[in-house]
Amino acid sequence: MAKTVSFTLKYWRQNGPQAKGHFDTREMKNIPDDTSFLEMLDILNEELINEGQEPFVFDHDCREGICGMCSLYINGHPHGPATGATTCQLYMRRFNDGDVITVEPWRSAAFPVIKDCMVDRTAFDSIMQAGGYTTVRTGQAQDANAILIPKQDADEAMDCASCIGCGACVAACKNGSAMLFVSSKVSQLALLPQGKPEAAKRAKAMIAKMEEVGFGNCTNTRACEAECPKNESIANIARLNREFIKAKLAD
């Protein structure tokens, strides 16, 4: 029989980016400890709806740790206290009876609140549109052995590509910097021959767009690396800086 946990839930309410927000508080009773955090919020919303209240708005999609939508700031940590995990991979057994659990949205000027804990992350989309792609001729796929790539490079590029664009790095950073996200996306292409033709254009364009949409500067506190649910390394930031400097020297 599953154990249960009872706790106080403080969750952020805000009607839009210009509205003043506040915390609502609710006592959650006898929640099975094998319940995921998002399932617990589903239970909260069922109770609110049954009472005729407006449900709590939060982002979610795949609930498998892949999509990056479950962007909640829980007890001072992006995605909660578990390391290397998204909110949907967080289970209530991480908490104790009598705990106070505080749920907030990402706090960044570049991620305005849509409602409650749902934020607008289209700033990330605009950065990707600025240079996070390769221009190739479409048609029949090339043979797998047509472009030989060292395994070490392929593995490292795959690690960089594991970034899910959730924004935890921005939420963790005192400057609201998106450098870990941008550097991971630049690195996954910089490490592969397919990404070389547009390398200079990519680094400059994505950094320029990052600054344009309002993200802060990186000061190497490593909070982004510590809170990233996919364990992206700040070595990617060093690579992005090298790519940017090479592009500037080429100019």
Q: Which domains does the chain have, with CATH numbers?
A: 4-104 (3.10.20.30), 120-136+144-250 (1.10.1060.10)
- For residue 1, the model assigns a pLDDT of 62
- For residue 138, the model assigns a pLDDT of 67
- CA 89 to chain CA mean position, Å: 14
Phi, psi of 192 (to 5 degrees): -115, 145
- For residue 137, the model assigns a pLDDT of 72
- Give dist(CA 201, CA 7) in Å, integer: 51
- For residue 98, the model assigns a pLDDT of 97
- For residue 148, the model assigns a pLDDT of 87
State the 10-residue block means of pLDDT for the chain, 251 residues long: 91 96 98 97 98 98 96 97 96 97 96 97 97 81 79 95 97 97 96 90 96 95 97 96 92 81
Please, which residues have CB within 8 angstroms of residue 186's CB and are 6 or more apart in sequence?
A: 131, 132, 202, 203, 206, 236, 239, 240, 243
224 within 8 A of 157, measured Cβ to Cβ: no
